[in-house]
């Protein structure tokens, strides 16, 4: 099987890549994360995906669409924000996978216990159906801590927030509040 792996960041890619390689699945990566804020954070995550993928010999495509206005103007609740964020990325990933002849697509977001797993599964299936391609579901969460430790050992940058401006502001608020 030829699988397109959406890579949200390097640390969250470590365990899924390992697990998929053990299954002898042919993996290519896609870095498409227009939600990440600020630009310095976006660049840092992208550079670390490059470092990780080169180390593992995984080809990765990079789609640079930095769309902060979408998140800056969004006033919905957290669940709505995550739905929008996942939808923007999974729709593009499914479309790309179909256009490039992949058998299926998946996302490293499925490794994090901090992401909305059921929503990711639901949206993955929705966009798979829309674009006529398979969504490869695997619960990578059991390997989250192991992957994070390996990322630390590899010297990969490990971010402290989800990525969007709202989560960034919330994390900055938390830091200020705790100081």
Q: What is the pLDDT of residues 83-115, one digit of tens each?
A: 888 999 999 999 999 999 999 999 999 999 989
pLDDT at 71: 62
- Give the CATH number of the domain where residue 34 resides: 3.40.50.620
Spatial contact of 14 and 151, defined as CB atoms under 8 Å apart: yes
Domain housing 138: 2-178
Does residue 49 have a pLDDT over 80? yes
How are the residues of the chain apportioned to helix, strand and coil, as percentages rounded to the nearest 5? Answer: 60, 10, 30
Helical (H) or strand (E) element with 36: none
Q: What is the pTM of this model?
A: 0.90
Cα 109 to its chain centre, rounded Å, is 5
Q: What is the pLDDT of residue 85?
A: 87
Nearest by Cα to 74 from 93, 65, 62, 87: 87
Give phi and psi for 105, each to the nearest 5: -140, 160
Does 141 or 36 have the greater pLDDT score? 141
In this structure, the dihedral spanned by the alpha carbons of residues 42, 12, 158 and 51, taken in order and rounded to 10 degrees, is -70
90 neighbors 130 (Cβ within 8 angstroms): no
CA distance 154 to 134: 32
Phi-psi domain of 132 (left: phi exceeds 0; alpha: psi -120 through 50; beta: other): left
Q: How confident is the model at residue 16 (pLDDT cuts 50, 70, 90)?
A: very high
Number of domains in the chain: 1
């Amino acid at each position: 099987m030829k699988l397109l792996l959406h890579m949200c960041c390097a640390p969250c890619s470590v365990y899924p890549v390992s697990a998929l390689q053990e299954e002898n699945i042919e993996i290519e990566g896609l870095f498409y994360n227009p939600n990440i804020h600020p630009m310095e954070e976006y660049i840092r995550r992208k550079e670390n995906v490059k470092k990780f993928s080169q180390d593992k010999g995984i080809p990765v495509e990079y789609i640079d669409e930095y769309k902060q206005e979408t998140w800056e103007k969004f006033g919905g609740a957290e669940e709505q924000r995550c739905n929008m964020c996942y939808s923007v990325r999974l729709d593009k990933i499914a479309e790309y996978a179909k256009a490039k002849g992949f058998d299926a697509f998946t996302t490293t977001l499925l490794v994090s216990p901090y992401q909305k797993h059921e929503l990711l599964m639901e949206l993955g299936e929705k966009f798979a159906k829309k674009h006529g391609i398979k969504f490869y579901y695997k619960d990578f969460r059991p390997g989250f801590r192991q992957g994070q430790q390996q990322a630390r050992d590899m010297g990969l940058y490990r971010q402290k927030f989800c990525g969007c401006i709202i989560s960034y502001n919330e994390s900055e608020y938390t830091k200020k509040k705790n100081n």
